[in-house]
Chains A and B, each alone.
Chain A
Amino acid sequence: MSKKILIVDDSATVRQQVGMALSQAGFAVLEAVDGVDGKEQIEKNQDLSLVVCDVNMPRMNGLDMVTQVKAEAKHAALPILMLTTEGDPTLIAKAKKAGAKGWIVKPFNADLLVNAAKKLTAAA
């Protein structure tokens, strides 16, 4: 069965772009439009192998979503990969401290993203 990845981004085009790259690599893909939706999807889908998450989004940003998700012990093993235009080392350190497992600065290379997804889901 395909490993399931949740893509959280407020841009439908980015979700489509990321989703195509991951689908072609054999992953099943779910989508969420912001951090609030992302949190809800994570609660509904306990079999997720990875979350790919933007930072700047309406309602709840990606860093707050990671912090809230990782505050729950049941999500401790769920890897979260940030995919964002932000390259600020302070934000990267904040994401790492909150429990994110990686950071990619947009625009992204599809092969790089797929390789990261394979590495991060290897243990799932």
Chain B
Amino acid sequence: MSEPAQVVFRNMLMSALTDLMTEYGSPLQGEPRPVDPAPSAGVRVAGIIGFTEERFGGIVAVQTSPEVVAEIVPGEIRGRIDDRVVVDWMGELANQLLGRAKNKMLKYGASFQMSPPTTVTGSALSVTSPVSRTGVWLEADTPAGPIRIMIDFRCEQEVLLSESHSTDHVAAAEGDMMLF
């Protein structure tokens, strides 16, 4: 069954978010829900990362509070958290989230390139799509507080993707190690 690429991308990204938050010990509580992209009420930090392939591209932003970020740093880093770590880790989280989504999309025959992430932080933070104004915001709850994802998916023509059952499209799983 074929589905529009933006639907597949959104589903794979949300699946990746569920996996990633569980991996870092802060599992999502309930299903992500659409929200209005209003400026944040307090200090927020956002990791922003781009993606592109021949048929589509876009931007993903992950926005949350520094308190939530502090809960999902790797165990080795806990107890050493300062503003620099929060900002850096937010970018790495965006990178790992999109990387997981990319790995999941390989079975749909889509392999995009990723930009290095960047991070912004501030009060009343508002991240919006600069060009298409088609960004969709989804919010999910974690034990430490909510986390928001902006998906700005762009394609000039509708792209349909269908899942392949070929083993040629299977990505290495997170945590896998191969020595050559």
Contacts and interface: CB of A to CB of B under 8 A. Distances in A.
B171 A87 contact: yes
Interface in B132-180: 168, 170-180
Contacts of A56: 95, 99, 114-116
A13 B77 contact: yes
Interface string A85-124: 1111110100010001111111111101100100110000
A85 B39 CA distance: 30
Interface string B94-112: 0110111011001000010
Contact of A103 (B80, B98, B172): B172
Contact of A87 (B77, B89, B103): B103
Interface secondary structure of B, over-half rule = mixed
Contacts of B33: none
Given A14-B92, A89-B168, A105 B73 contact: no
Interface secondary structure of A, over-half rule = mixed
B175 A89 contact: no
B179 A101 contact: yes
Interface in A15-31: 16-17, 20-21
A106 B177 CA distance: 10
- Determine the interface band of chain A, counting residues with CB < 8 A from chain B: 35 or more
Interface residues of B, number: 37
A103 B178 contact: yes
Contacts of A96: 180
Contacts of A103: 172, 176-178, 180
Contacts of B178: 92, 102-104
Contacts of B96: 85, 106-107
16 contacts: A11-B89, A11-B92, A12-B88, A16-B80, A17-B77, A21-B76, A57-B116, A87-B173, A89-B170, A103-B176, A104-B175, A104-B176, A105-B172, A107-B174, A109-B175, A119-B179
Interface of A: 10-14, 16-17, 20-21, 56-58, 84-90, 92, 96, 100-110, 112-113, 116, 119-120
Interface of B: 23-24, 73-74, 76-77, 80, 84-85, 88-89, 91-92, 95-96, 98-100, 102-103, 106, 111, 114-116, 168, 170-180
